[in-house]
C-alpha cells in the first residue's frame, strides 16, 4: 500500500499568490504590520501558525494571545473567501482527477499535509472542486512546524506498512 501525501497550495490548487496576498494584507488590516517578508524560506517554521507567531512576536515582543490569533485567522479567511467569490480558485491541472483516481484505487491512500490552516485549506480545495475532508490531513492547526506533519504520517504509515510518497508543488 502506498500513502500519497499532497500539499495544497501550488500542488492541488493554484492559490499560492492569493494566499500570500491575503496573509500579508491580514497583518496590515488587523495589526497595522507593513513590510512583511514574503520569502517564506526566511522563517524557521513555514506554516501559517509558525509564520504568524514569528512575525507577531518580532513586532510586538511577546507571544500572541489566542484571541489575537483568532482575529487574524478570521480576517485571513474572510479575505480568501472574498477573493474566491470574485474568481473561484482553480485546481492545478489534473489534480482533481488524480486525487479521485488514487482515492478510488485499492493500492493507494491519499493524505494532505499543508502549512496552511485547516479552514483556509478547506476553502481553497472546495472552491477548486475538491473536498479536504475526504482525506486524513495535517495542517498548521496541528503544529507550528511543517516537519511534524510528515513525521506524523510517516510514523502512522510504518505501523500499517505503507510506503510514503510526498507531493509538494508538483506539476501534473
pLDDT of the residue at 154: 46
Where is pLDDT greater, at 54 or 109? 54
Q: What is the mean pLDDT of residues 62-87?
A: 97
Instruction: Indicate the pairing of strand 137-138 with strand 163-167.
Output: unpaired
The rounded distance, in Å, linking the Cα atoms of 137 and 7 is: 10
Q: Is the pLDDT of residue 147 over 70?
A: no
Q: What is the mean pLDDT of residues 69-90?
A: 97
The string of pLDDT tens digits covering residues 10-29 is: 999 999 999 999 999 999 99
Q: What is the DSSP code string of 42-88? A: GSSS-SHHHHHHHHHHHHHSSPPPHHHHHHHHHHHHHHHHHHHHHSP
pTM for the model: 0.83
**pLDDT level of residue 65 (50, 70, 90 thresholds):** very high
pLDDT of the residue at 8: 93
The string of pLDDT tens digits covering residues 151-160 is: 554 444 444 4
Q: Are 2 and 108 in contact (CB under 8 A)?
A: yes
φ and ψ at 47, to 5 degrees?
Answer: -120, 165
Q: Is the pLDDT of residue 161 over 60?
A: no
Sign of CA dihedral 58, 142, 100, 158: positive
The string of pLDDT tens digits covering residues 87-143 is: 999 999 999 898 888 878 777 888 898 999 999 999 999 999 999 998 888 888 887
The partner residues of 66 in beta bridges, in order of sequence, read: none
* CB-based contacts of 84, cutoff 8 Å, min separation 6: 123, 124, 127
Amino acid at each position: 500500500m502506498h500513502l500519497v501525501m499532497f500539499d495544497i497550495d501550488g500542488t492541488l490548487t493554484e492559490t499560492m499568490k492569493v494566499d500570500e496576498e491575503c496573509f500579508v494584507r491580514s497583518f496590515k488590516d488587523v495589526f497595522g504590520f507593513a513590510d512583511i517578508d514574503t520569502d517564506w524560506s526566511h522563517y524557521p517554521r513555514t506554516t501559517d501558525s509558525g509564520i504568524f507567531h514569528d512575525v507577531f512576536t518580532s513586532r510586538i515582543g511577546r507571544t500572541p494571545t489566542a484571541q489575537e490569533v483568532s482575529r487574524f485567522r478570521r480576517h485571513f479567511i474572510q479575505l480568501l473567501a472574498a477573493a474566491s467569490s470574485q474568481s473561484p480558485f482553480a485546481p492545478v491541472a489534473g489534480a482533481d482527477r488524480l486525487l479521485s483516481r488514487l482515492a478510488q484505487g485499492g493500492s493507494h491512500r491519499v493524505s494532505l499535509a499543508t502549512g496552511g490552516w485547516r479552514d483556509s485549506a478547506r476553502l481553497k480545495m472546495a472552491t477548486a472542486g475538491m473536498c479536504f475532508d475526504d482525506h486524513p490531513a495535517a495542517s498548521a492547526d496541528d503544529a507550528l512546524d511543517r516537519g511534524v506533519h510528515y513525521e506524523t504520517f510517516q510514523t502512522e504509515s510504518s505501523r500499517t506498512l505503507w510506503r510514503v510518497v510526498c507531493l509538494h508543488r508538483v506539476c501534473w
